[in-house]
Amino acid sequence: MGILKDRFKAKADQMSAEIKDILKEHGSRVIGEVQLAQVYQGMRGITGLVTETSLLDAQDGIRFRGYSIPELREKLPKAPGGSEPLPEGLFYLMLIGELPTEEDVQHVTAVLQRRSQVPLHVFQAIEAMPLTAHPMTQLTVAVMALQTESQFARRYAAGMSKKDYWEAVFDDSMDLIARLPRVAAYIYRRKYKFGSHIEPNGLLDWAGNFAHMLGFEDDGFKELMRLYMTIHADHEGGNVSAHTTHLVGSALSDPYLSFAAGLNGLAGPLHGLANQEVIKWIFEMQEQLKTDSPTPQQIEEYVRKTLSEGKVVPGYGHAVLRKTDPRFTAQMEFGKKHMPDDKLVQTVWNVYETVPPILQSLGKVKNPWPNVDAHSGALLVHFGMKEYDYYTVMFGVSRALGVLASLCWDRGLGFAIERPKSITTDLVKKWIKGEDQIWGD
Ligand code: CMX
């Protein structure tokens, strides 16, 4: 087996034994209470999942294996001459639980390079769709076409033993992560660049090569891709894309099927698609106001108009976070370093000054602060990537790192098929009257 696989197996075996002991001694302890409102309102705050790769704190934001985003930007290995972390390093951290050395990261990059060949029929599946198909639809179709390569599906059909599931999931996950940048770049060049495709560069890191295949050779853009692919990778287990991948995987659907399902969740406007909605919303504001530098007062009027039309302000709010998202702050710092005078980036900062008090004044929005999606598009536009319909695909490529590392852990720890209890309102009414137990069978 490879170094990464060996290390993962050793960690997973150790953790399995620990969990067995924990459950033996503490398995019947009560971990929390569930209120009826939580059952009706998106299960918010109910602890019901174990995800090893990262943990979200409402005030401090995301930590990957205990490390915050500023810490990762400092501690993870960088590309030669670069100052942003290599996402391969974050993947190693999520999978193994320890910070990687430079050598470890080079190893991950080399493994991904080696596995990156995309079969012809995947490109043909993309080509079978109309050019007008949304890039996220094209990406999901491509991932489904790649499923023909699943080692898990093949080995399961041949009678694989339970004890080997983790290995087949590990192999599929590495293959899928390796192939995604090529597939995603193909979709971009097909839809927006008249199908003039760019061959991969085997000397570049995973994110640098993605930038290259997209057609952006600027060193600043490559650095942005490294940061972007790092900060979008994981946000603990309950968000729609992570939870969906985990849920579908719990039925022993292979990593391609599971990740495609997660991508479909990411394509929703309240989740990953918000990144395209933010830039669309700002471009529409510029068009309506006939200026590329709207004043704070003009922004305020536009925000109020958005709300009066019964729409959400994209890029603001969060189901868990209650402060400015550190992923927003990391991008703001990148903007201040690389493009402080960019008008669109400055507008994003002016929106940040304007929106929170307005949302706060509504009295119902639990978090008036910006999330990751409020900033990402403006940085991409700066480098010339204006095709905002494509942005969620980039989020999806990054998200693969987190959700597939988690899927490896799910099978490595032998987690069960997920099957929570649901109820009917009729049963709730009876329960209120004291006529029935709400939790049956
Ligand atoms: N603009 C206007 N209203 C908002 C709002 C926003 N940005 N954020 C929340 N609200 C409203 C909700 O729609 C809800 O209204 P109703 O009671 O009328 O239905 C009310 O405030 C309470 O919502 P909440 O408890 O604060 O937020 P939720 O946990 O239900 O939803 C989220 C969280 C992210 C879906 C929501 O804040 C939102 O719609 N934001 C805009 C879309 C967005 O940026 N999504 C990306 C999130 C990050 C990601 O996953 O990529």
- Single out the residue of 31, 48, 30, 32 nearest to residue 415, CA to CA: 48
Is residue 331 within 8 Å of residue 275, measured between CB atoms?
no
Residue 366 Cβ contacting ligand 1 at under 6 Å:
yes
Structural domains in the chain (count): 2
Q: How far apart are the first and last CA of the chain?
A: 44
Alpha-carbon span 347 to 280, nearest angstrom: 13
Kindly tell me the burial class for residue 403, based on how many C-beta atoms sit within 10 Å of its own C-beta (0-12, 13-18, 19 or more).
Answer: buried
Residue 309 Cβ contacting ligand 1 at under 6 Å:
no
pLDDT band at 112 (very low <50, low <70, confident <90, very high): very high
Pocket test for ligand 1, best of 231, 280, 316, 403 (most atoms within 8 A of CB): 316
Which ligand 1 atom sits nearest the alpha carbon of residue 235? 50
Are both 68 and 143 inside the same structural domain?
A: yes
Are both 335 and 398 inside the same structural domain?
A: no
Are both 258 and 296 inside the same structural domain?
A: no
Which residue, judged by its Cα, is nearest atom 45 of ligand 1?
Answer: 270
One of 271, 325, 375, 410 is an active-site residue; which one? 271
Residue 365 Cβ contacting ligand 1 at under 6 Å:
yes
Are both 312 and 225 inside the same structural domain?
A: no
pLDDT, residue 436, reads 75
How wide is the angle at C-alpha 340 spanned by C-alphas 378 and 399, nearest 5°?
A: 35
Q: What are residue 62's phi and psi, to 5 degrees?
A: -80, 140
DSSP structure class, residue 78: B
Beta carbons within 8 Å of 286's beta carbon, 6+ residues apart: 292, 294, 347
Which residue, judged by its Cα, is nearest atom 11 of ligand 1?
Answer: 365
pLDDT in tens, 265-310: 999 999 999 999 999 999 999 999 999 999 999 999 999 999 999 9
CATH code of the domain in which 353 resides: 1.10.230.10
Choose the final residue of a domain: 388, 412, 429: 388
Strand pairing category for 61-64 and 67-68: antiparallel
Calculate the CA dihedral of residues 4, 5, 8, 10 and round it to 10 degrees: -120
Are both 378 and 403 inside the same structural domain?
A: no
pLDDT band at 440 (very low <50, low <70, confident <90, very high): low
| pLDDT higher than 50, residue 148 | yes
Alpha-carbon span 153 to 165, nearest angstrom: 10
How wide is the angle at C-alpha 221 spanned by C-alphas 108 and 269, nearest 5°?
A: 85
DSSP structure class, residue 184: H
Beta carbons within 8 Å of 427's beta carbon, 6+ residues apart: 436, 438, 440
CATH code of the domain in which 99 resides: 1.10.580.10
Are both 71 and 149 inside the same structural domain?
A: yes
Are both 185 and 237 inside the same structural domain?
A: yes
Are both 208 and 286 inside the same structural domain?
A: no
Q: What percent of the chain is predicted at pLDDT more than 90?
A: 98
- Single out the residue of 303, 243, 297, 278 nearest to residue 371, CA to CA: 278
- Cα of 366 to ligand 1 centre, how many Å? 8
Choose the final residue of a domain: 358, 373, 388: 388
What pairs with residue 54 in β-bridges? 64
Other Cβ atoms less than 10 A from the Cβ of 368: the count is 19
| pLDDT higher than 80, residue 368 | yes
| pLDDT higher than 50, residue 441 | no
Residue 313 Cβ contacting ligand 1 at under 6 Å:
yes
Are both 241 and 202 inside the same structural domain?
A: yes
Is residue 231 within 8 Å of residue 73, measured between CB atoms?
no
Pocket test for ligand 1, best of 276, 312, 403 (most atoms within 8 A of CB): 312
CA max distance for the chain? 69
Which ligand 1 atom sits nearest the alpha carbon of residue 317? 37
Are both 9 and 122 inside the same structural domain?
A: yes
- Cα of 365 to ligand 1 centre, how many Å? 7
Are both 22 and 74 inside the same structural domain?
A: yes
pLDDT in tens, 219-259: 999 999 999 999 999 999 999 999 999 999 999 999 999 99
Is residue 169 within 8 Å of residue 153, measured between CB atoms?
no
pLDDT band at 117 (very low <50, low <70, confident <90, very high): very high
Are both 415 and 336 inside the same structural domain?
A: no
**What domain range is 316 assigned to?**
274-388
Is residue 126 within 8 Å of residue 190, measured between CB atoms?
yes
Count the residues in the chain: 441
String of DSSP letters for 318-367: -SS--S--HHHHHHHHHHHHH-TT-HHHHHHHHHHHHHHHHHHHHS--S-
Beta carbons within 8 Å of 419's beta carbon, 6+ residues apart: none
- Cα of 310 to ligand 1 centre, how many Å? 12
pTM of the model: 0.97
Which residue, judged by its Cα, is nearest atom 14 of ligand 1?
Answer: 365
Distance of CA 206 to the CA centre of its chain: 16
Q: Is 373 a catalytic residue?
A: yes
Which ligand 1 atom sits nearest the alpha carbon of residue 315? 44
Choose the final residue of a domain: 349, 366, 388: 388
Is residue 371 within 8 Å of residue 316, measured between CB atoms?
yes
